[in-house]
Amino acid sequence: MPEEKLAVKTEDGDCPLFVYTPTLGGGGPAIIFYFDAGGIRPAVADMAQQLADAGYVVLLPDLFYRHGPYGPFDPVEVLAGDMMAILGPLLMTTNNAKAAEDTRAILAFLGKRTDIHGDKVGTVGFCFGGGMAITAAGTYPDQISAVASFHGSNLASDAPDSPHLCASKLKAELYFAAATNDEHYPVEMAKSFEAALDQEGVTYTAETYPPAHGWMKPDFPVYEATSAERGWKEMIGFFDRTLKPAG
């Protein structure tokens, strides 16, 4: 896989940044990939490469860099044990606001590459990364044009950096796919999030997939291949339409 490991300097230090380009060569529009609570691991790298092979330059930051070395974790083992004892210390080092701060350095880095096509940037997030992808788009509305979120969590909460509070700043189009019976994104929260978007006239598509929270991640015990295939088709079609030149 054509993976590059670099680093970008943020307000809090050096954030490792993995860059993926199409296996067959060439570049494409830039997409920033916000991982789930399990952090950097082989399955996440494979997903980033799969997206790159659709014709994109995918940037995967390690947003747990403030914690220091960790993992890689096996989600099956983590979920079978005391998940918060293992992941809690990492999760406490970042949030939507800090991820948005880190995104500034990533966006600045884009100008140094010659394989990025156009000036439209996309973001995609999974689980808690979904909120980060949305918050980044609200923080940099003139640069981020498209956002995809899969089984995003806590998209409308009482937190000061809750993604729904970005609605008035969003210029990007959104595609977000919820999980069924998701305790991290219950029906009432979904209604609140969509109401915030509707109030501000944000263009979005909201869908609920049959499986449980985490179905898109191939190393999760709830991974569901049929729905994941559909999710990939929708994601790539969405980014092709919003980021790539017409014609």
Per-residue burial over 196-212, b = 16 or more CB atoms within 10 Å of its CB, e = otherwise: bbeeeebebeeeebebb
Residue 103's domain spans which residues? 3-243
Rg, the chain, Cα only: 17
Q: How many domains does one find in the chain?
A: 1
Look up the CATH number of the domain holding residue 173: 3.40.50.1820
Straight-line distance from the first to the last Cα atom of the chain, in angstroms, rounded to the nearest whole number: 29
Looking at residue 171, its pLDDT comes to 98
Query: How many helices (H) and strands (E) would you count in the chain?
Result: 7, 8
CA-CA distance, 190 to 131, in Å (whole number)? 13
Contacts of 124 (CB under 8 A, 6+ apart): 31, 32, 33, 34, 51, 133, 147, 148, 149, 150, 235, 239
The two tokens of residue 42 are 């082989």
Whether this prediction's pTM lies above 0.95 is answered by: yes
Closest CA to 139 of 93, 108, 170: 170
Looking at residue 1, its pLDDT comes to 61
Task: Give the position of tokens 């498209």.
Answer: 146
List the chain pLDDT tens, one digit each, 247 residues. Answer: 679 999 999 999 999 999 999 999 999 999 999 999 999 999 999 999 999 999 999 999 999 999 999 999 999 999 999 999 999 999 999 999 999 999 999 999 999 999 999 999 999 999 999 999 999 999 999 999 999 999 999 999 999 999 999 999 999 999 999 999 999 999 999 999 999 999 999 999 999 999 999 999 999 999 999 999 999 999 999 999 999 987 6
Looking at residue 245, its pLDDT comes to 85
Looking at residue 246, its pLDDT comes to 79
CA-CA distance, 13 to 24, in Å (whole number)? 34
Contacts of 192 (CB under 8 A, 6+ apart): 156, 164
